[in-house]
Amino acid sequence: DGGITQSPKYLFRKEGQNVTLSCEQNLNHDAMYWYRQDPGQGLRLIYYSQIVNDFQKGDIAEGYSVSREKKESFPLTVTSAQKNPTAFYLCASSIYNLRQGAEEQYFGPGTRLTVT
Amino acid sequence: GENVEQHPSTLSVQEGDSAVIKCTYSDSASNYFPWYKQELGKRPQLIIDIRSNVGEKKDQRIAVTLNKTAKHFSLHITETQPEDSAVYFCAASFPGGGADGLTFGKGTHLIIQP
């Protein structure tokens, strides 16, 4: 735990409004990710960023936007174009594991967004 | 892209018994397979992982096995305890795909019956 923070923990918005979810990490990780979690759906990748000022769409990017102006920060905006925005949103960051030859991901505590 | 199937979706076992959760993956290039545990309302936590050049890895009461030929891997929890109750996710990533994000299974809700 620790190192990756998300705020707020709970967020309520009216339909038609854009909302921005915060994600900050002080782990000096290069890569950061946003996932959406729905019941029975597991974790689905929205966007990811390998370096500052660069990001790529994941599997379900429609209706979302991101920015990566600083290494420590990767905010996610849920736009009014997202048809079903109510979900649990998880941010993660990763470091390359030399032993595994792969990237271990560490998750933030999540933000539960409810749109009515 | 990669596709990960996870079974069962719910698993109920008696305290002290063993639990096994199975995952299959589609991309034979995948080489990293982590398992995450998520307690209710909390973030997923990495509990064990395995790379494709290893067939089995154990850490106290948990172990993971990997069958590359069949493209499946399993999580084994022995001597289950109440604190093992959680949702468990398997995941897979392929070379250079780590930064694309892991592909997750849909999760298994493990219930430990007292």
The Cα–Cα gap between B70 and B54 comes to 14
| A108–B106 C-beta distance less than 8 A | no
> CB neighbours (10 Å) of residue B39?
12
Could you tell me how many residues make up chain B? 114
Full DSSP string of B4-33: EEEE-SEEEEETTS-EEEEEEES-TT--EE
Neighboring chain B residues of A108 at a CB cutoff of 8 Å: 43
Cα angle for residues B59, A94, B106 (degrees, 5° grid): 65
Distance between B102 CA and the closest CA of chain A, angstroms: 8
Q: What is the pLDDT of residue A34?
A: 95
B113, B58 in Cβ contact below 8 A? no
* Residue B37 identity (one-letter amino acid): K
Tens of pLDDT, residue by residue over A41-60, are 788 989 999 889 999 998 89
Neighboring chain B residues of A31 at a CB cutoff of 8 Å: 98-99
B101 touches chain A (CB under 8 A): yes
Distance between A13 CA and the closest CA of chain B, angstroms: 20
Report CA-CA distances (Å) from A80 to A10, A14, A16, A65, A74. Answer: 18, 10, 5, 11, 20
* Residue A26 identity (one-letter amino acid): N
Rg value, chain B, Cα: 14
B64, B77 in Cβ contact below 8 A? no
Judge whether residue B55 has pLDDT over 60. Answer: yes
B42 touches chain A (CB under 8 A): yes
Tens of pLDDT, residue by residue over B5-47, are 999 999 999 999 999 999 999 988 888 899 999 998 788 999 9
Tens of pLDDT, residue by residue over A64-106, are 999 999 999 999 999 988 989 999 999 999 876 666 555 778 8
Find the residue in B nearest to A4 (Cα): B43
Report CA-CA distances (Å) from A37 to A14, A58, A66, B18, B19. Answer: 20, 14, 18, 28, 24
B33 touches chain A (CB under 8 A): no
CA B53, distance to chain mean position in Å, is 17
Judge whether residue A1 has pLDDT over 50. Answer: no
The Cα–Cα gap between A22 and A78 comes to 11
Tens of pLDDT, residue by residue over B78-105, are 999 999 999 999 999 866 554 556 888 9
> CB neighbours (10 Å) of residue A64?
21
Distance between B15 CA and the closest CA of chain A, angstroms: 25
Q: What is the pLDDT of residue A2?
A: 56
